[in-house]
Amino acid sequence: MLLSNKFFFTRLQYESGDWDVDQRMPSNILNSLIEYTTLEVDTRENIIPLSSDEIFKCPFCYLSGHKLVQFNKDERANFKKYVENGGFVFVDDCNHDIDGLFSKSFERQMEEIFGPKALKKIPNNHEIYNVFFQFEDGPPTTSQELNGWGDDIVHDYLKAIEINGRIGVLFSNKDYGCEWDYDFRNKRWYKIDNTRFGVNIIMYALTS
């Protein structure tokens, strides 16, 4: 599934919303994969339309935004087929707000595609929290949550759609994209590298 035996980070374009957010985040996560793992990494971000068949060549996809998520016919069909055939999509709400437009509309899309009970909370001892680095308390908190932005709630869980016991869609209201959106050269100023959970997400997608 990997092109040229290298991991590549794929961002999904979708027609309805502002998909092109947190533009420095992918290069930062890719730098962390190089720093911490033995993966061969393509350092260029791969951007493709959700409606394109190129999605089926991608081992990992990222989808985010602030606005409405309303998939068209081709986007809906590809999303469903990709996930049901072993693909992995990390979806991150830039609003960090469970009552925001992105979150509500995305969850509505998942209900329509996979059924009303498909997207559900995952336990904080799930494999994704220990597949590489250890996160004993579940998903790490972001500075946006601690600063009271969004809905002023620290979300102590993530949601997921599982296919045959494996996560196919991981959904976050925590705004990790914004948290990881800084020049990777500035990471040395962080006491704890906050991109480590991004490494876990990708390693889970590739190995589980």
- Averages of pLDDT over runs of 10 residues in the chain (208 residues) are 71 94 92 94 95 96 95 98 97 86 96 96 97 95 73 85 97 92 69 89 95
How many angstroms separate the Cα of 114 from the Cα of each of 29, 76, 105, 117, 202?
A: 29, 11, 14, 8, 23
What pLDDT sits at residue 189? Answer: 62
What pLDDT sits at residue 3? Answer: 43
Region class of 121: left (phi > 0), else alpha (psi between -120 and 50), else beta:
beta
- Comparing CA positions, the residue from 80, 72, 155, 74 lying closest to residue 113 is 80
What pLDDT sits at residue 150? Answer: 63
pTM: 0.92
- Residue spans of beta strands (DSSP E) within the chain: 10-13, 46-49, 61-65, 89-93, 120-121, 159-163, 166-172
Domains, the chain, in order of start with CATH, read: 3-207 (3.40.50.12140)
What pLDDT sits at residue 184? Answer: 65
What pLDDT sits at residue 187? Answer: 64
Beta-carbon contacts of 155 under 8 Å, excluding residues fewer than 6 positions away, are 96, 98, 139, 145, 172, 173, 174
Question: What is the maximum alpha-carbon separation in the chain?
Answer: 45
What pLDDT sits at residue 95? Answer: 84
